[in-house]
């Protein structure tokens, strides 16, 4: 038997599920335990097909709008957060509603509403059309949140009053990109009020830090995550910017482009915040089938944060 070539596998830590994702999944599972199937979920609870299909098999029904769910069944709002009109619609229909919005996203919503109450127009750094951006912008009346995606957007911005501005950010963006856009905002609008604390969530920051640490010594970095997952896409981008010549975003081992990895002697592996560890383990096994793998952990932080589920799920059925 021909011996397998050696491969050093740099494993990012932390990777995969964050506290907000873990909480959101637990909320759907607890709702099913409390009220039985079906429980309706507006939008994908998190951006991962494996997670969604697993919950669907347990009795969750995923819909895009509240009106698609019967009024006599519970509805869960996804971890990304929703516009204020969504729970208002559910309330008007008399539905049991359970909010699985990540508490760190809720914090951004609170910031936006506070700035509005104090007479400021809000600028949001985020990606157009992403559910989190839609939900945050939907906390305020139309026109009260201006979206910018990059520095060029900052130059085109026409606020109502340049002296009465504040900015917030989507929690899953690139740390470096966000800092660049924030700096452009502050340079153009010196009076703009910045967040008291960084809106980029701890999990996003930690996962990007681990990728930055491993990228310069890797021939390629594999990111396990969904293509519609903002934080997963950012990890693949961060790897390239940090000096790795190649990165791949894959939902599972079956999507790996093996030809692009030919001759590799050092690979990095991480997972977006909504990707289960089982998918990472599948990738590791696929690598072991082709290489003699030596695992090297790359530890950027130790996470021990937990978020409580809503009170309605802590009460007895």
**pLDDT grade for 315, boundaries at 50, 70 and 90:** confident
| 8 Å CB contact between 271 and 223 | yes
**In angstroms, how far is CA 302 from the centroid of its own chain?**
19
SS3 content of the chain, % helix, strand, coil (to 5): 40, 20, 40
**Residue 66 structure tokens:** 């509240």
What positions carry a catalytic annotation? 132
* Phi, psi dihedral angles at 204 (to 5 degrees): -60, -50
Tens digit of each residue's pLDDT (9 = 90 or more) over 127-184: 999 999 999 999 999 999 999 999 999 999 999 999 999 999 999 999 999 999 999 9
Helix axes 49-58, 19-35, angle to 10 degrees: 10
Report whether 213 contacts 298 (CB < 8 A): yes
CB 310 within 8 A of CB 83: no
Average pLDDT estimate for 15-41? 97
Query: Are the beta carbons of 18 and 303 closer than 8 angstroms?
Result: yes
Least confident of 9-13, 225-229, 311-315: 311-315
Sequence-distant (6+) residues with CB within 8 A of 317 are 33, 34, 35
Note the pLDDT of residue 20: 96
What tokens does 229 get? 């997952």
Q: What beta strand segments (E) does 163-277 contain?
A: 165-169, 220-224, 247-250, 266-271
Q: Please state, for a pLDDT cut of 90, what percent of the chain lies above it.
A: 96
CA atoms within 13 A on the CB side of 141: 5
Radius of gyration of the chain (CA): 21
pTM value is 0.93
d(CA 12, CA 18): 14
Quick check: 86 and 66 in contact, CB under 8 A? yes
Domain residue limits, the chain: 6-17+202-299, 19-102, 103-188
Please tell me the predicted confidence (pLDDT) of residue 197.
Answer: 80
Count of alpha carbons within 13 Å of 146, Cβ hemisphere only?
Answer: 21
Model confidence band, residue 198 (pLDDT cutoffs 50, 70, 90): confident
The CATH class of 19-102 is alpha beta
Q: CATH fold of 6-17+202-299, please?
A: Cobalt-precorrin-4 Transmethylase; domain 1 (3.40.1010)
- The CATH class for the domain spanning 103-188 reads alpha beta
Dist CA 307 CA 231 (whole Å): 19
pLDDT grade, residue 316 (50/70/90)?
A: low
Give the residue-averaged pLDDT of 235-258. 98
Do 6-17+202-299 and 19-102 have matching folds? no
């Amino acid at each position: 038997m021909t011996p397998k070539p050696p491969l050093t596998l740099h494993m990012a830590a932390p990777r995969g599920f964050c506290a907000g994702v873990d909480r959101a999944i637990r909320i759907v599972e607890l709702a099913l335990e409390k009220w039985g199937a079906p429980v309706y979920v507006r939008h994908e609870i998190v951006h991962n097909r494996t997670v969604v299909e697993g919950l669907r098999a347990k009795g969750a029904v995923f819909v895009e709008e509240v009106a698609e769910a019967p009024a006599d069944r519970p509805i869960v709002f996804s971890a990304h957060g929703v516009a204020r009109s969504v729970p208002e619609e559910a309330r008007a229909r008399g539905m049991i509603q359970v909010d699985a919005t990540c508490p760190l996203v809720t914090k951004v919503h609170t910031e936006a509403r506070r700035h509005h109450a104090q007479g400021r127009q809000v600028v949001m750094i985020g990606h157009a059309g992403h559910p989190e951006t839609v939900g945050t912008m939907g906390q305020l009346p139309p026109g009260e949140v201006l979206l910018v995606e990059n520095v060029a957007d900052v130059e085109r911005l026409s606020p109502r009053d340049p002296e009465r501005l504040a900015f917030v950010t989507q929690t899953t963006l690139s740390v470096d990109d966000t800092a660049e856009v924030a700096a452009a905002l502050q340079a153009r609008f010196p009076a703009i009020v910045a967040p008291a604390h960084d809106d980029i969530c701890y999990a996003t920051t930690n996962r990007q830090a681990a990728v930055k640490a491993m990228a310069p010594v890797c021939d390629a970095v594999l990111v396990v995550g969904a293509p519609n997952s903002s934080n997963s896409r950012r990890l693949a981008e961060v790897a390239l910017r940090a000096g790795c010549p190649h990165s791949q975003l894959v939902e599972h081992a079956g999507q790996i482009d093996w030809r692009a990895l030919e001759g590799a002697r050092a690979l990095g592996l991480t997972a977006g915040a909504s990707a289960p560890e089982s998918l990472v383990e599948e990738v590791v096994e696929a690598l072991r089938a082709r290489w003699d793998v030596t695992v090297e952990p790359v530890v950027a932080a130790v996470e021990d944060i937990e978020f409580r589920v809503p009170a309605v799920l802590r009460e007895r059925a």
